[in-house]
Structure 1
Amino acid sequence: MPSFDIVSEIDTVELRNAVDNANRELSTRFDFRNVDASFDLSNDIVKLKAEGDFQITQMMDILRNNLAKRGVDPRSMDSKSASQSGKNWNKDVVFQQGIETLTAKKMVKMIKDAKLKVQASIQGDKVRVTGKKRDDLQSVIAMFKGSDLELPLQYNNFRD
C-alpha cells in the first residue's frame, strides 16, 4: 500500500552556512565598520546582536538574503521581538523543526474534507498519508502545495 510522510524540516548544515555567510558579509559592509554586531547559531536559534535597533533590522535582511541563497525556506523562521540591554540590542530568530500537533490536526482535517481515498495519521512531528493508489497520494501533495499553510513542507519516505 503506497504511503509517504509530510514533514517540515530545515537543513541545519545550510542554516549554519547561511549564518557564516551573513557574518562574513557583516564584516565587509561599510555601515557595520567599527560596530559590535554578530550572528550566533546554537540549537536552531540564531542570536542577532548589534548596537542599534536599525542595525538589527538590517541584519535581519542580511540573514534573509543568505537563507534564500542557501535554499532555506524563510517561512520556517519565527522572529522574536528585539530587546535592549545596556547599549546592545539582541534579537532571537527560532527555526521550527517538525509539525506542531495543532497544525498536524488541521492537515488531517484538510485531507478528510477533500474526500480523497486516503488515510492520514499523525506520527510524532510528521503526518503519514496512506492510500491504495499513487494518484490519490499525488493529489494530496498537490492540495498541500496549493494550500496557505505558513509552514514549509517536504514530502519524503514515499513507498510503493
Structure 2
Amino acid sequence: MADTFSFDVVSDFDRQELVNTIDQVRRDVGQRYDLKDSGTEIELEETSLTITTASDMTLQAVEDVLRQKATKRNLSLKIFDFQSPEAVGGNRVRQVVTLRKGLSKELAKELSKTVRDNLKKVSVAIQGESLRITAKSKDDLQAAIQLLKQQDVEVPLQFENYR
C-alpha cells in the first residue's frame, strides 16, 4: 500500500474529436440552405481555428453549429476562445478561434493557492502546464477534486493519473 496518493490536474482536449467536429460542421454548412452559398471556409491549425464566411450573420450561424457539434462530441466549449471578427477583402468576414490547452502559469498559481488555502493536508506542485496534487489520504484528494470542480476557470479541467 502506497503511503501517498496523487493525481494531475490538466487542461486538454481530444484532438481527434475536434477534427471530427470540424468535419461535421463543414458538412452541415455545405448542406444547410441558409449557409450553402456563403462560401464558408473552416481551417484547423495546430493551436487555432479560422472561420472565413460571407457576413456576420453567417458567421454567427457557423459558430452556433460549431458549438452544437462540439457539445454532441463531449468537447468542452471552454476550449474555444472566440476572437473578434475582422473584415477581409470582398465583403467577407474572418474570425480566429484560439484553442485553449494547458494551464497558464497564472492560472496554475491561482489554483495551487486555492487548494493550499482550503486544504491543509495536501501538497501542490506546478509541473509545466499541469498541477500535481499529493496527499496521504484518498479522501483529501477527493476533497481537492471537489474544490477544483467548484472553481470557475476559463479552461476545462481534467483529473488524470489518479494513484
- 2:62 corresponds to 1:59: yes
For 2:151, the aligned partner's letter is S
1:11 alignment counterpart: 14
Alpha-carbon shift at residue 157 of structure 1 (Å): 0.7
TM-score if structure 1 supplies the norm length? 0.96
Secondary structure in structure 1 of the residue aligned to 2:162: strand
2:112 alignment counterpart: 108
Secondary structure in structure 2 of the residue aligned to 1:116: coil
For 1:20, the aligned partner's letter is D
1:83 alignment counterpart: 86
Q: Distance in 2 between matches of 1:78 and 1:40?
A: 15
- 2:148 corresponds to 1:156: no
Q: Distance in 2 between matches of 1:130 and 1:115?
A: 11
TM-score if structure 2 supplies the norm length? 0.94
Unaligned runs of 5+ in 1: none
Which of 23, 35, 52 aligns to 2:38? It is 35
Secondary structure in structure 2 of the residue aligned to 1:31: coil
Cα displacement string for residues 90-109 of structure 1 (whole angstroms, at most 9, x for unaligned residues): 00111111000000000010
Alpha-carbon shift at residue 44 of structure 1 (Å): 3.2
Q: Distance in 1 between matches of 2:5 and 2:86?
A: 49
Alpha-carbon shift at residue 145 of structure 1 (Å): 1.1
Q: Distance in 1 between matches of 2:76 and 2:21?
A: 12
- 2:94 corresponds to 1:94: no
Alpha-carbon shift at residue 115 of structure 1 (Å): 3.2
Which of 130, 138, 144 aligns to 1:134? It is 138
Decide whether the 8 Å contact of 1:84 with 1:90 is kept in 2.
Answer: yes
Decide whether the 8 Å contact of 2:5 with 2:135 is kept in 1.
Answer: yes
4+ residue runs over 2 A deviation: none
Q: Distance in 1 between matches of 2:153 and 2:85?
A: 26
What is the aligned-residue identity percentage?
31
1:120 alignment counterpart: 124
For 2:123, the aligned partner's letter is Q
Decide whether the 8 Å contact of 2:50 with 2:96 is kept in 1.
Answer: yes
Structure 1, 40-49 or 4-13: larger mean CA deviation: 40-49
Q: Distance in 2 between matches of 1:144 and 1:17?
A: 29
